[in-house]
Structure formats: C-alpha cells, structure tokens
C-alpha cells in the first residue's frame, strides 16, 4: 500500500512532545491512511461471526457504524499515562460526538512500549477479552486501574478480576493468555504502526492525517471536520 505524507499545524507540533510516551518527533508522521492501517492487508474488516480467535479479537476492537464515512485509528499502550489521560478526558467525547452519531468508526491498535513492564501483558489481556467480544469494556477497565497494576511483578490476578468484572469467561481467557494466542496479532499491530511512522503513544490517524499526544476534544473536532469535508461528508 502507498505511504501518505501527513501534516497538521505548527501549533500542535509545539504542544505534543510533553504529551506522549516514546520518542515522539512532533505532530507530523509518515504513514498510511486510517482505513488502510486497520488491517495488515488493507482488506475489509473480518466478519463478526468469524470463528478464528485472532479474527474475532481483531473485529472486537473496532466500534462504530460500518457505514461511517471516516476511520480513526488509535495507536496506544495500556501502561502509557498519556494514553490514560486521553482516555479519561477526550475518548468519551469522541465516542459521544462522532462514533455514536455514525460519523466515525474507531479502531484500537496495540503499541506496548519497551520499558513499560506490564504493557504487553495488558495488551494480551485486552485482546484475549476481545476474543470473547469484550474488548472495549476491558480497555476501559485497564485504563481506569492503570496505577494499580503498572508496577506489579505479576499483574495477572488484577487482570483476571477485571476480565471477570466485564463478563469474560475465565477458562478460555486463561487458555488464550497462557497460550499467547493473540501475541502475533499484537506484534502485527506494532509492525504496521512502525511502518506507518508511529513512534509514540497515543498516536491517532484521522483519515489521512496523524497526531500524537493526549490532545483535547477541540483538536479532534477540527481534524474530524476537515477529514469529513475532504471526503464530501462534512457540513
């Protein structure tokens, strides 16, 4: 797939470095469009009834109408404090204003950063919950409790409790965790993100633009409006 040169205003570039985990170089990145980044092949999203565990998990970490005119991809790390900050302050507004109104389809891409000791286990916990259709509740629970598990030697007991609280069946969940059945999917997420120029979390691909950092809802409103207008769907 072709790469797309992405850019936003210099004002955002000046604000970003203190708001992201990893080696952020500012607001501009080189990468693919959000729609292309959703799957490694760029093909259509797996059907909800697909029986393959990886493809069930892949489908479950997408929310929004299939007819939404715009994709947003969130590249994130469950242990990154800036990802948690964005989740607490901006994510609910994005969902309310754009996902639930049918304007946007939102996908989560895993990017567990080296140095965050429990980022990989958290990503596996989320994706094994996703295999049972519970990705977004587990996503919310992991961010809500980040400070409780981020420094633990073994966060498994906490993750089990979170999984149970969101309705996950623990036996197949444990089988998924112990067998590392979603590890290849998470690694594929990281590979695709890096190939698209991502080197910090959170990073968001909005149509064919990219921004890094825990940006406020005002930034998303502007970029989403610009992307919708570009696609002929804006007001």
Q: What would the pLDDT profile of 62-104 be if each residue is shown by its tens digit? A: 999 999 999 999 999 999 999 999 999 999 999 999 999 999 9
Question: For the chain, what is the HEC assignment?
Answer: CCCEECCCCHHHHHHCHHHCEECCCCCCCEECCHHHHCCCCCCCCCCCCCCCHHHHHHHHCEECCCCCCEEEEEEECCCCHHHHHHHHHCHHHHHHHHHCCCCEEEEEEECCCCCCCCHHHHHHHHHHHHCCCCHHHHHHHHHHCHHHHCCCCCCHHHHHHHHHHCCCCHHHHHHHHHCCCCHHHHHHHHHHHHHCCCCEECEEEECCEEEECCCCHHHHHHHHHHHHHHCCCCC
pLDDT tens string 150-198: 999 999 999 999 999 999 999 999 999 999 999 999 999 999 999 988 9
Which pLDDT does position 11 carry in this prediction? Answer: 27
Average pLDDT score over the chain: 84
Which pLDDT does position 92 carry in this prediction? Answer: 98
Sign of the CA dihedral running 91, 93, 96, 97 = negative
| Domains by residue range for the chain, with CATH | 4-40+53-229 (3.40.30.10)
Which two three-digit tokens encode residue 163?
């999984």
Which pLDDT does position 35 carry in this prediction? Answer: 57
Residue 122 in this model has a pLDDT that exceeds 90: yes
Please report, rounded to a whole number, the percentage of residues in the chain having pLDDT higher than 70: 79
Query: Residue 208 — pLDDT band, cuts 50, 70, 90?
Result: confident
Is the pTM value of this prediction over 0.75? Answer: yes
Which pLDDT does position 235 carry in this prediction? Answer: 57
């Amino acid at each position: 797939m072709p790469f797309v040169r992405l850019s936003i205003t210099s004002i955002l570039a000046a604000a970003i470095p203190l708001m992201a985990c990893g080696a952020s170089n500012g607001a501009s990145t080189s990468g693919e469009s959000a729609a292309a980044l959703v799957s490694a092949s760029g093909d259509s999203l797996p059907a909800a009834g697909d029986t393959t565990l990886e493809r069930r998990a892949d489908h479950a970490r997408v929310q929004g109408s299939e007819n939404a005119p715009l994709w947003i991809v969130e590249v994130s790390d469950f242990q990154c404090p800036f990802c948690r900050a964005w989740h607490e302050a901006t994510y609910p507004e994005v969902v309310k204003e754009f996902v639930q109104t049918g304007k946007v389809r939102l996908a989560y891409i895993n990017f567990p950063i080296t140095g965050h000791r429990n980022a990989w286990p958290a990503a596996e916990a989320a994706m094994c919950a996703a295999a049972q259709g519970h990705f977004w509740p587990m996503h919310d629970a992991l961010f809500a409790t980040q400070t409780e598990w981020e420094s633990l030697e073994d966060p498994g007991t906490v993750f089990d409790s979170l999984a149970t609280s969101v309705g996950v069946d623990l036996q197949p969940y444990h089988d998924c965790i112990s067998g590392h059945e979603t590890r290849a999917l998470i690694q594929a997420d990281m590979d695709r993100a890096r190939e698209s120029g991502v080197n910090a979390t959170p990073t968001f691909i909005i149509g064919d633009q990219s921004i890094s950092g825990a940006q406020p809802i005002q930034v998303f409103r502007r970029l989403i409006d610009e992307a919708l207008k570009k696609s002929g769907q804006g007001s």
